[in-house]
Structure 1
Amino acid sequence: MDVVTLCLFLLLAVVVSGIVSRLLPSALPRPLVQIALGALIGGFAHVRVELDPELFFLLLVPPLLFLDGWRIPKDELLRDARTVLGLALGLVFLTVLGVGLFVHWLIPAMPLPVAFALAAVVSPTDPIAVGAVAQKVTIPRRMMHILEGESLLNDASGLVCLRFAIAAALSGSFSPSAAATTFAYTAVGGVAVGAGLTWAVVRGKALLAQRFGDEVGSNILISLLIPFGAYLAAEHIHASGVLAAAAAGIAMTFAGSGAAVGAATRIRRRAVWDMLQFTLNGVVFVLLGEQLPDLFHGARRAIADTGHDSGWWLLAYVLAIVAVLAALRFGWVWLSLRFTLFRARLSGRSPAGSPPRRVVAAMSVAGARGAITLAGALTLPLTLNDGSPLPARDLVILLASGVILASLVIAAAGLPLLLRGLRLPSDAGLAAERDRARTIAARAAILEIERVRHAMCAEGEDPDRATEVAARLMEQYRERIESLGADEEARAEQNHDRAIERSMRLAAIRAERQAIFDLARQRELGLSVAEQLGRELDLADARWNRMAM
């Protein structure tokens, strides 16, 4: 019963954080509010959560990585693959090596494998945290796609590095050749298990649905179970469950594209995953705040292990680690952009010049740490193989928590300033590709309407009525084709008209909804009818809202 009560308290704190973050200034991101609420729960309500690292990692990491892989734009990921791989692999390995050696030099009492473990847990960035600190600031689309792709892959690479660091700390030895072989096996095995299991499950479910029918609930439940199944299956064969969960999410896009999934299922499934993402990330930050009082109580003992007696040394360590992380990230991003511009100049596609400093700074500041960092820190084993306590475990968790807090504060303060007024080149190629696809789809719709009209007439439908309805529908599609083929000036006017229409449509839809709710409250309309009409208006509201994106 105590566990159930505790879970309800955590969920309530997540809900309250959403309300409070809307009331506070926009510069204060939701994760900081959730951490503060967690600290209040831990400090004043005297609620204590005993976290099992393995269970915590299993419940948290697979669904978050799966969702990141599922929703990340695949075309943009492939287009910026070099940049993403450089950040997700090259920068992570540089961070693990550089920060690990620096921490061991800074804190000699921390063994080198444990220092590498700390470096591994602070290397992954968190796009949810970045999005939270930039709620009121528009992040350029391409920059956000790069950050999402980096986070998806560096979660995996950072946690794989953590696995090797923990193994070295437990065994006391490390072999580079054995590590390379093991890394290749775990990576390939994890990707194969995640992609293979997703494809088999989705295709098998589609075949069953075609033969015996389908239901929304089972489809949603299967999507919830896939990341856990991929993670556990990969771990069972000693492959990377982290990579398996990420690969399962990526494969879900392709495996599910041809499956018989209805529109209602997709809408409800997305709503369930949105809720799960919000809940899991919120619970993580609330738990981080809840753990802070106990962590700070143990800070003096952890600091004493380093040969100091003042708690201010902990702040100094955190600031030093954050400074090294920022310097490594800034240098890597700057060199990466310089190399990109150099290749563009060689191909004659770009004038000479240096990388825009604001872009480099924004990409560097956007490296906020979050859920994965805390999850990785909490998975550190309590004891070594001989039963003795793992050296400096509390200090590692404290420093990782401090890095999360510091990176969130820096991103909250720096991103709005750096992104204000920043304009990146528009992606004209993507817009042209989107317009071409819409034109082809509209022509296909016209042909299909004509086919259905002939079929209806052959079955005895009134030809005049069928022709009138078909002409009205086809005219709408022809207007869409003409608008997509208009010149820039005409398109600008159409976009302005569309914005006016969108504002009027949304106002009208919301007035309809309010009128229906008023009728239901006055008992002049049945509740079931009101709910049905409300859902229809909600879908229309969402559709017109999406047109602004």
Structure 2
Amino acid sequence: MAVIETVLLLLLAVVVSGAVARMTRIALPLVQIALGALVVLITGHTIDLKPDIFFLLFLPPLLFLDGWRIPKEALFRDRAIILELALGLVLFTVVGLGFLIWWMIPEMPLPVAFALAAILSPTDPIAVQAIAARVPIPKRLMHILEGESMLNDATGLTCMRIAVLAATTGAFSIGNAVGTFAWLALAGVVVGILMTLAISLAKNVISRKWGEDVGAQILVSLLIPFAAYLAAEELHASGILAAVAAGITMSFTERGQTQQLATTRIRRAVVWDTVQFAANGVIFVILGEQMPSILARAAEVVRGTSRPEVWWLAVYVFAIVAALAALRFIWVWTSLKMTLLRRRQDAPPPRVGLRLTMVMSMAGVRGAITLAGILTLPFVLADGSEMPSRNLAIFLAAGVIIVSLVLATLVLPGLMRNIELPPEPSHQQEEDRSRVAAAEAALQAIEDKAHALSEGKPDPDIYTDIAARLMALYRQRIETRTRTDEDDVNVSRRLDEIERQLRLTGLRAERDELGRLMRAREIDSDTGKKLVREVDLQELRFL
């Protein structure tokens, strides 16, 4: 019963954290960590999750959602720098930081040091978004960070898995490591793709033949990442890469599919937003909730090393944070120089400013994935003995998360003000062409349907009048989107914006009045909810 109460308190802390962060202007992850520590003070005990259960509960849905929602065009456009950051930087960090940790803490075995370095390499865009909430992040920069995070999660966790195997078995070879990495990566990606394609195909066949159940559709989308993860793990492949590949595949399988009910898409998006908020929040709250015990265990471990003073823990954390920043700065500067602003051979060389490099470097905040990964370190080795330095590694990872969050909170907003990147390509003409094509299709469909409905009816003029009224709206849309004069186009867009604002004002007034009628019991609550939902769905078109 106490565990259930603690879990409920953790969820309550996640709910409260959003309001506290808005009121105090403190980064959301830091607020959640503080509230987690407060939960310990209230309950007096912590939750000890088994590492594999913790991994399974939180990582598959978060990574699946990253792959599902990231803009694919942006991902492919900046694929060079994203791959360099997500693959090259991870390996660079694992090697450089791994040897540094081993040199600083000789009592920590080299495989454990590499495992710690591997799990510290992934970045967390959710934490960056929370930190930079007061300062708009340029879209291109955010897309690069999202793409990097999505792929370096998989790379870092896969490298960590190899290091853990070496730590538990005591055997390591380059050939085996490369072969293991190739199998983990390729098999994981294939499993994720095939699992999503199979489930999506079965779901679409059932929906076409027997109708669509909104609740079932949402539940299936929630189960796909777990199915991909568990299937890959059963084949000793990377469940993390399977979850990422499943998310990317999900976005492609749904591209162009319009048969799905609008209600399903709206409700599913809300459910997944809630899952993302809750999962990320609970991880940070758990970090705060476990910090006292992590610190106590780490203090015991460090007393048995060559530097027994507890303050050495802080030295280790700050040294690791500084090393991560230096490694990332070097790699980011090189990557930006070579790829971010790459142009034709005859074009002038790109100018990469120091400020842009610093922004990209400071944006490498560690977060939920690092904590979830480090807690999966096994407790024992293959021979049954205790995993050396496990508690110390967990403390160092937790300390790096907190320190990187605090530093980014203080420095990143100032660095990002007025930061300039190459402008995003305009999609306005593409949007206009699409709206015109959709309107023309609607005109033809309305005309055909009106003729079909009016055949043999005693009052065919009613169908013609209604169809003409609807077709006039679509013709107006075509006219405003096909003008060639730039001034006329700008005027049309300004008129559209004015219309949008007025429509939103009217819809909100409708909703307020419906609320008043329900409170006064002048309409039935079910009727009122139905009418409010209709207004909400209309409002979504103009937001």
Range class of TM-score, shorter chain: over 0.9
Distance 1:79 1:313, change over 3 A: same
Contact 1:203 1:259 survives alignment (8 Å): no
Q: Which amino acid aligns with 1:335?
A: T
Alignment deviations for residues 167-198 of structure 1 (CA, whole Å, 9 cap, x no partner): 11111121111111111111111111111011
- The equivalent residue for 1:62 is 60
| Residues in 1 aligned to 2:207 and 2:350: alpha-carbon distance in whole angstroms | 57
Contact 1:446 1:477 survives alignment (8 Å): yes
| Residues in 2 aligned to 1:467 and 1:443: alpha-carbon distance in whole angstroms | 18
- The equivalent residue for 2:437 is 440
Contact 1:32 1:408 survives alignment (8 Å): yes
- The equivalent residue for 1:307 is 306
Q: Which runs of 5+ in 2 are unaligned?
A: none
Alignment deviations for residues 506-544 of structure 1 (CA, whole Å, 9 cap, x no partner): 333222222211221122221111111221222233332
Q: Which amino acid aligns with 1:325?
A: L
| Residues in 1 aligned to 2:458 and 2:304: alpha-carbon distance in whole angstroms | 87
| Residues in 1 aligned to 2:308 and 2:281: alpha-carbon distance in whole angstroms | 34
Q: Which amino acid aligns with 2:2?
A: D
| Residues in 2 aligned to 1:342 and 1:422: alpha-carbon distance in whole angstroms | 15
- The equivalent residue for 1:533 is 531
Alignment deviations for residues 295-347 of structure 1 (CA, whole Å, 9 cap, x no partner): 1222322322332233322122111111111112122221112112674141x
Q: How far did 1:260 drift?
A: 4.0
Contact 2:192 2:243 survives alignment (8 Å): yes
- The equivalent residue for 2:12 is 12
**288-297 or 509-518: bigger deviation:** 509-518
- The equivalent residue for 2:35 is 37
Alignment deviations for residues 258-293 of structure 1 (CA, whole Å, 9 cap, x no partner): 384211111111111111111111110000000001
**225-234 or 310-319: bigger deviation:** 310-319
| Residues in 2 aligned to 1:260 and 1:3: alpha-carbon distance in whole angstroms | 44
* 1:21 and 2:21 matched: yes
Secondary structure, aligned partner of 2:134: coil
* 1:270 and 2:265 matched: no
Q: Percent identity between the aligned chains?
A: 52
Secondary structure, aligned partner of 1:134: helix
| Residues in 2 aligned to 1:104 and 1:118: alpha-carbon distance in whole angstroms | 10
- The equivalent residue for 1:386 is 383
**304-313 or 140-149: bigger deviation:** 304-313
Q: Which amino acid aligns with 1:430?
A: H
- The equivalent residue for 1:168 is 166
Q: Which runs of 5+ in 1 are unaligned?
A: none
Contact 1:206 1:260 survives alignment (8 Å): no
Contact 1:113 1:169 survives alignment (8 Å): yes
| Residues in 1 aligned to 2:419 and 2:448: alpha-carbon distance in whole angstroms | 49
| Residues in 1 aligned to 2:69 and 2:151: alpha-carbon distance in whole angstroms | 14
Secondary structure, aligned partner of 1:135: helix
* 1:471 and 2:472 matched: no
Where in structure 2 are the equivalents of 1:334-413 lying within 5 Å? 334-340=333-339, 343-346=342-345, 348=346, 350-413=347-410
Equivalent residue in structure 2 for 1:126, among 124, 127, 131: 124
Contact 1:129 1:370 survives alignment (8 Å): yes
| Residues in 1 aligned to 2:27 and 2:486: alpha-carbon distance in whole angstroms | 38
Contact 2:192 2:245 survives alignment (8 Å): yes
- The equivalent residue for 1:424 is 421
Contact 2:80 2:339 survives alignment (8 Å): no
Q: Which amino acid aligns with 1:90?
A: G
Distance 1:291 1:459, change over 3 A: farther
Equivalent residue in structure 2 for 1:232, among 215, 230, 233: 230
- The equivalent residue for 2:143 is 145
| Residues in 1 aligned to 2:159 and 2:83: alpha-carbon distance in whole angstroms | 16
| Residues in 1 aligned to 2:272 and 2:29: alpha-carbon distance in whole angstroms | 19
Q: What is the count of residue pairs matched by the alignment?
A: 541
| Residues in 1 aligned to 2:490 and 2:354: alpha-carbon distance in whole angstroms | 31
Contact 1:303 1:310 survives alignment (8 Å): yes
Query: How does the TM-score come out when normalised to structure 2?
Result: 0.95
Contact 2:3 2:47 survives alignment (8 Å): no
Distance 1:447 1:426, change over 3 A: farther
| Residues in 2 aligned to 1:320 and 1:485: alpha-carbon distance in whole angstroms | 60
Contact 1:345 1:352 survives alignment (8 Å): no
Alignment deviations for residues 48-107 of structure 1 (CA, whole Å, 9 cap, x no partner): 111210100011111111111111111221122112111111111111111111111122
Q: Which amino acid aligns with 2:359?
A: A
- The equivalent residue for 1:451 is 448
RMSD: 1.9
| Residues in 2 aligned to 1:161 and 1:310: alpha-carbon distance in whole angstroms | 31
Equivalent residue in structure 2 for 1:505, among 503, 506, 518: 503
Contact 2:78 2:340 survives alignment (8 Å): no
**459-468 or 225-234: bigger deviation:** 459-468
Secondary structure, aligned partner of 2:364: coil
Secondary structure, aligned partner of 1:355: coil
Query: How does the TM-score come out when normalised to structure 1?
Result: 0.94
Q: Which amino acid aligns with 2:368?
A: A
Equivalent residue in structure 2 for 1:209, among 200, 207, 212: 207
| Residues in 2 aligned to 1:301 and 1:60: alpha-carbon distance in whole angstroms | 29
| Residues in 2 aligned to 1:341 and 1:138: alpha-carbon distance in whole angstroms | 20
Contact 1:134 1:416 survives alignment (8 Å): yes
Q: Which amino acid aligns with 2:274?
A: M
Contact 1:216 1:265 survives alignment (8 Å): yes
Distance 1:483 1:107, change over 3 A: farther
Contact 1:43 1:293 survives alignment (8 Å): no
